[in-house]
Amino acid sequence: MGVLAIGRRIVGELRAGLDGPGAQSAVRRLHGLLGADAVGLVDLRGDGVWAGRVPEPFAAREVVAAVLRTDARATGPGLTGLPVHARDELVGALVIAGDGLDRAALLEAAAWVGEALERARLEASAEVAEQAELRALRAEISPHFVYNSLTAIASFVETDPERARELLLDFAEYTRHSLARGGDYTTVAGEFAAIEAYLALARAVLGDRLKVQLRIAPEILPVALPYLALQPLVENAVRHGVELTADGGLVQVHGEAAGSEAILTVEDDGPGMDPEHAADVLAGRGNPHSVGLLNVDRRLRTVFGPGYGLVIETAVGAGTKVVLRVPRFQPGVVA
């Protein structure tokens, strides 16, 4: 295996940090690559993992302490300690035991470790941001919609108790899915079940003003996607495409396979909007009431990569179509 390939392995093994499960393997690779008597990686607490035999354990501790205290190279009897940085911040020390070692190789090894730890921090920050955005989206459940739904259910209790019962079950499904705390992902089937529950409630409130067309290809039902990736788009279509129109309108939700991807669309025939405004919404410059679209777009890009996100097709007086494209399989994304 070439040096660059070994370096990539080391970076991958250290993505969980200096105390992660891959740290010991990374140190063993560094040990073999550098041809040193021993190699150690030590965090800011002084805890570390080692490969090889350290001839002077006390001297090694002194070298580590010097590196962490001064944020600079330190040496001891047959020992070299180098600071490890992530985003210009000291995060630990790399200690090498041996004589006649290549200084450039030692600096390169410290850089590999720093790169791995920087990636770990970035990935952790992205995960925290994604969770915060999901919490914000869950907090957006409209009290107005909840009130209207319960009022509609109450109106059927005496005149049509069976429908009242079905709507209560729909309301339970809608709130269960919207407030779910278990796991980060659901399936297209799970998201569609919540959408059907939401639309049943919306029809109870809006009556004949709301027309709905749902079409979903069976082969994409198991596809995993983040919670609340599709439902907010449907709610947005009802609020802005139907409720704002005196005569109501049609909301269409379609899903189909396209090779290795699933294409999901939510379309309404409402008033639409200026395309520049739609671009502003996805750039975070739009109406604060459109934060749901921005939120979904950001989470899709975080989970699947920058090539995935929402596409809004709209014009004034021409309705709005939101297209969501996701891989049918993505490593690590499991419902």
Place of tokens 């770990």: 120
181 has pLDDT over 60: no
Nearest to 212 by CA among 194, 238, 192: 238
Query: Range with the lowest mean pLDDT among 24-28, 93-97, 121-125, 265-269?
Result: 121-125
Strand partners, 151: none
* Torsion, Cα of 200, 253, 251, 307 (10° steps): 130
pLDDT score of 118: 72
Domains of the chain, with CATH numbers? 3-125 (3.30.450.40), 140-327 (3.30.565.10)
Query: What's the whole-number mean pLDDT along residues 150-168?
Result: 85
Question: DSSP assignment, residue 58?
Answer: H
Q: How far is CA 71 from CA 21, 48, 81, 151, in A?
A: 26, 17, 10, 65
The pLDDT mean for the chain works out to 81
Closest CA to 149 of 171, 178, 122, 173: 171
What span, in angstroms and rounded, lies between the C-alpha atoms of 189 and 245? Answer: 30
Distance CA 231, CA 199 (A): 10
Angstrom distance (rounded) from CA 48 to CA 63: 13
pLDDT tens-digit series, residues 211-264: 999 999 999 999 999 888 888 899 889 988 888 888 889 999 999 999 999 999
Half-sphere exposure (Cβ direction) of 102: Cα atoms closer than 13 Å: 8
Q: Are 80 and 90 in contact (CB under 8 A)?
A: no
Whole-angstrom CA distances from 287 to 167, 168, 273 are: 32, 32, 12
What is residue 7's predicted lDDT score, i.e. its pLDDT?
A: 63
Q: What is the mean pLDDT of residues 317-332?
A: 89
Give dist(CA 85, CA 80) in Å, integer: 16
CA angle 61, 65, 70 (to 5 degrees): 150
